[in-house]
Amino acid sequence: MKEDKKEIIIKVSQKLFARFGLLKTTVDEIARLARIGKGTIYHYFTSKEEIFAEVIDKEAQFLKDKIINAIDGETAPQRKLRAFILTKMECLKNLVNYYSALKEEYLEHYSFIEKLRKNNFEEEIRIVMMILQEGINEAIFEVKNPRLTSLAIVTALKGLEFSWTFEDSMIEIKKSVDNLLEVLLKGIEKRT
């Protein structure tokens, strides 16, 4: 079966946006690479920004599905937390458009980007809070305020995203995540 034209536009755009960014990618380039007329693109989308929003939505759903599958594949809350962090970092290495939507300042004036950023942050807090609550219920974690603790974890991860996703290899990321989790789960206070 022949691929739907809208899907072709999205796939081609995803590659172009990843390579050149939203500002430098043109509808003419998308049409040329997709081997369709520019008018056909406007039949499906009203603007380049609308195409970008669709690409971002697709990548966001991919990331969410990967994270949920990774967490569901683990039984212990500690392992679920590790799976969440590693899966997120590994996916961000490949989801250039999604990552740029979360980080690039020039995209801030697009309302759909602000909505995406807020939803992403809240979704990550929800996932971490769910893992923490499971650990509390199983008497593995002792957390007084799961929401505040989740906020601290997600905020700390945001600060590490750039170096982990663009500067480090997955081997280094795994080592860093394990070190971070050791501090997080075992603390830094000396036990007597």
The secondary structure of 41-68 as a DSSP string is: HHHH-SSHHHHHHHHHHHHHHHHHHHHH
128, 150 contact by CB (below 8 A): yes
Are 58 and 151 part of one and the same domain? yes
pLDDT tens digits, residue range 19-67?
A: 888 889 999 999 999 999 999 999 999 999 999 989 988 988 999 999 9
Residue 192, in any domain of the structure: no
The amino acid present at 103, given as its one-letter code, is K
Residues 41 and 86 in one domain: no
In the DSSP assignment, the letter for residue 165 is: I
- CATH number assigned to the domain comprising residue 182: 1.10.357.10
Q: Indicate the pTM of the whole model.
A: 0.84
Distance separating alpha carbons of residues 157 and 180, to the nearest angstrom: 10
Residue 191 domain flag: no
Mean pLDDT of 89-113: 79
Quick one: pLDDT at residue 152?
A: 94
Q: Which residue has the higher pLDDT, 140 or 184?
A: 140
Q: Could you tell me which residue, 70 or 158, shows the higher pLDDT?
A: 70
pLDDT band at residue 151, thresholds of 50, 70 and 90?
Answer: very high
Q: How far apart are CA 169 and CA 175, in angstroms?
A: 10
* Residues 72 and 143 both lie in one domain: yes
Count up the domains in the chain and report the number. 2
> Over the stretch 153-180, which tens digit does the pLDDT of each residue have?
999 988 888 777 766 778 888 888 888 8
Tokens of 76: 């212990």
Q: What is the mean pLDDT of the chain?
A: 88
